[in-house]
Structure 1
Amino acid sequence: MDTNALILSSDYARLGKDSRELARKCAAGELRRIRHGVYVSEAVWRDLKPWDRYPLLILATATTLRTRSVFCLESAAALWRIPLLGAQKVVHACTDDPAGGRSKPGISRHRISASGSEICERTGLLVTSRERTVLDLGALRPFEHAVIAFDHVLKPDAVTGLPPLDKDSLKLMASERYSAAAARRIGTALDFADPNSGSPGESLSRAYMFLGGFPIPLLQRGVVDRKGFVAYLDFEWGAERIAGEFDGLVKYQKPEFLRGRTPSEVVIAEKKREDRIRATGRRVVRWTWAELRDAETFAAFLIAEGVPRLPLRATIPGVRARKGQPPSGAG
């Protein structure tokens, strides 16, 4: 996060400059106002990925607050680089005010009591710890949001280098810090979480499968043919010989997936890979973010593709799925 990208009207005033110049540049399309009195170059903002815009928005919000705040929920998750479902526009901060504190446009205050080891500094800002952050998401957000977060933190973070969190330790913390109902919600998502999930899109797919009453497939199963190793499958329903593949499209855009290849070369390689999978007798079912718009849309897609439903649909008391959007920060 480039903290130098922010332009503060208060800095202009201290330097004896006319802060109205910022408004003029904003009107001319040179700057974008992302918080009251906080601007960023329009070109810089345009070039930022959605998952990089939100941390900058959090920092911009921090500069407008009179006291140093502890950021929580989605805001803390973003600063820990934990993927989130959908574009984020509201910044979340803790308060110990029994009434919930004062929220205002763009910032939501939550009565979350965090202290000591549950508060960390991240990129110069105070945030709830990784453990507290994902548990809060599990307690306060829909099941599918929690699954995305838990799947991510249960494995080593390749971007930040942070180690995986321990599932049993998280369950113990949930039992000690949350109400019985919240601990049950957390436990349901934690029991379902799987570090073998390859991406947030795969995590969301699995959560929607559960909510839709579908059998949960095996993850990252290796496929071999007479020539040798073919691929690891995102999902496999073994009895039905169905291979499920989520295509988040990042493999056609991000350098770490392209690995020196052009997008067209990646498309050709994917086609050859899929042909070899089909040759093993498996049927390949592919989907993208369009099919993951919400749980009902995805269920209809899987049914149309011949994926069987379980006789009794699994449900989570008190938790309903919400419309899905591509997680910020992942494919």
Structure 2
Amino acid sequence: MSWHELLADSGVASTRQLLAVISRRHLRTLVDSGRLIRVQHGIYAAVAPDHLARLRAMDLRIGERAVACLHTAATLYGFDTDPDTRLHILDPGVRIRPSTDLMVHQRLGAPLALVDGRLATAPAWTAVELARTLRRPRALAVLDAALHSGRCTAADMASAVAQQKGRRGIVAVRALLPHADGRAESPMESEARLVFIDGGLPLPELQFEIVDRQGRLWRVDFAWPEFGVVAEYDSMQWHATAAALVHDRMKVARLQEVGWASVPLVVDEVRKHPGELVARMQTLFERAALAG
């Protein structure tokens, strides 16, 4: 067996496994040339490892299957809104020192679930536990994302909140739970919605669909049908290209033709000037009410 074949299965191999098929000198040459990447002490990969490969490397290191938690579990479930490059695992009961890329956690009694053949703290527990560590806007974002992923329900998260009663940050998460909505499609949409909630604005419809005069269907992030107002979060990542700008301008024009006022939202407005944003929306609602 060659070292390529050895790595083909799980993507990682220990020093002992590699030395069974190549010499120590050859191993050193492969590492020095970058053909092998050191994932952890004594564990190597041929390509930059993803979370699953890093967990498999941890399996080799501790001699048993590592259990993912917090950010690592959320990544496996598809709702890590605030990525953390460190590996987060439950204490395996084997002496292992945390490092700059590894965090070992004590989570006695945490319910577990299988994801991609790997044990991790259960989805709802993970979402609530992660939300407890974040600022309110980001906490709502992870709760929204967990619901959007379909991995858990609002009832599941309410149960997880009850299970984590008394832990730091749980009061804030409990207060946010009634506002969690799986229709949100990005963390910044969640942050903007919290601005509306905190500002006392009427709750918007999410991912609202509108048909223009040409019969084309448009979907908007937020809509207040009773006022004829919509709001869209403009991400620089998705809206900065020429094609995106043309699309956005056409969308605004088509919506205006059928009586909708469109409000663009940007990150600074949501995070730095929420009061001004709320006042602007309130003014639009008042004008619409007077006109009606």
* TM class by smaller structure: 0.7 to 0.9
Correspondent of 1:224 among 204, 208, 211: 211
How far the C-alpha of 1:189 sits from its partner, in A, is 2.7
How far the C-alpha of 1:276 sits from its partner, in A, is 1.4
Determine if contact 2:58/2:66 at 8 Å carries over to the other structure.
Answer: no
Query: For residues 154 and 275 of structure 1, do their structure 2 counterparts lie closer, same or farther at Cα, with a shift above 3 Å needed?
Result: same
> For 1:37 and 1:91, how far apart are their aligned partners in 2?
17
> For 2:52 and 2:190, how far apart are their aligned partners in 1?
23
> For 1:176 and 1:206, how far apart are their aligned partners in 2?
27
Query: For residues 18 and 180 of structure 1, do their structure 2 counterparts lie closer, same or farther at Cα, with a shift above 3 Å needed?
Result: closer
Query: Is 1:78 matched up with 2:57?
Result: no
Match of 1:126 in 2: 119
> For 1:229 and 1:214, how far apart are their aligned partners in 2?
33
How far the C-alpha of 1:212 sits from its partner, in A, is 7.8
How far the C-alpha of 1:75 sits from its partner, in A, is 1.2
Match of 1:84, SS state, is: coil
Correspondent of 2:60 among 60, 63, 67: 63
String of CA shifts for 1:17-74, please: whole Å, max 9, x gaps: 2345444334334343332233333xx43xxxxxx83343333333322443322111
> For 2:18 and 2:151, how far apart are their aligned partners in 1?
44
Q: 5 Å matches for 1:1-331? A: 4-15=10-21, 17-41=22-46, 44-45=47-48, 53-86=50-83, 88-95=84-91, 102-114=97-109, 118-155=111-148, 157=149, 163=150, 165-179=152-166, 182-207=169-194, 209=195, 213=199, 215=201, 217-236=204-223, 239=227, 241-247=229-235, 249=237, 268-279=246-257, 280-287=259-266, 291=267, 298-300=270-272, 308=279
Gaps of 5+ in 1: 46-51, 158-162, 253-262, 312-331
> For 1:250 and 1:20, how far apart are their aligned partners in 2?
48
**How many residue pairs get matched?**
271
String of CA shifts for 1:91-147, please: whole Å, max 9, x gaps: 1122398xx9853342212221136xx122333432111122112113333333432
Gaps of 5+ in 2: 1-7, 283-292
How far the C-alpha of 1:221 sits from its partner, in A, is 2.2
Larger Rg: 2
Match of 1:57, SS state, is: helix
> For 2:17 and 2:269, how far apart are their aligned partners in 1?
49
Determine if contact 1:222/1:231 at 8 Å carries over to the other structure.
Answer: yes
Determine if contact 1:212/1:299 at 8 Å carries over to the other structure.
Answer: no
Question: Cα RMSD between the aligned structures?
Answer: 3.9
Query: For residues 96 and 6 of structure 1, do their structure 2 counterparts lie closer, same or farther at Cα, with a shift above 3 Å needed?
Result: closer
Determine if contact 1:33/1:40 at 8 Å carries over to the other structure.
Answer: yes
Determine if contact 1:234/1:246 at 8 Å carries over to the other structure.
Answer: no
Determine if contact 2:79/2:145 at 8 Å carries over to the other structure.
Answer: yes
String of CA shifts for 1:219-246, please: whole Å, max 9, x gaps: 2222333333541111246659352234
Corresponding letter in the other structure for 2:261: R
- Relative contact order: is structure 1 or structure 2 higher (C-alpha 8 Å, sep ≥ 6)? 1
Determine if contact 1:96/1:112 at 8 Å carries over to the other structure.
Answer: no
How far the C-alpha of 1:181 sits from its partner, in A, is 5.7
> For 2:177 and 2:62, how far apart are their aligned partners in 1?
35
TM-score by length of 1: 0.65
Determine if contact 1:6/1:40 at 8 Å carries over to the other structure.
Answer: yes
Identity of matched residues, %: 20
> For 1:167 and 1:136, how far apart are their aligned partners in 2?
15
Corresponding letter in the other structure for 1:149: V
> For 1:299 and 1:309, how far apart are their aligned partners in 2?
15
Corresponding letter in the other structure for 1:33: R
TM-score by length of 2: 0.72
Determine if contact 2:81/2:145 at 8 Å carries over to the other structure.
Answer: no
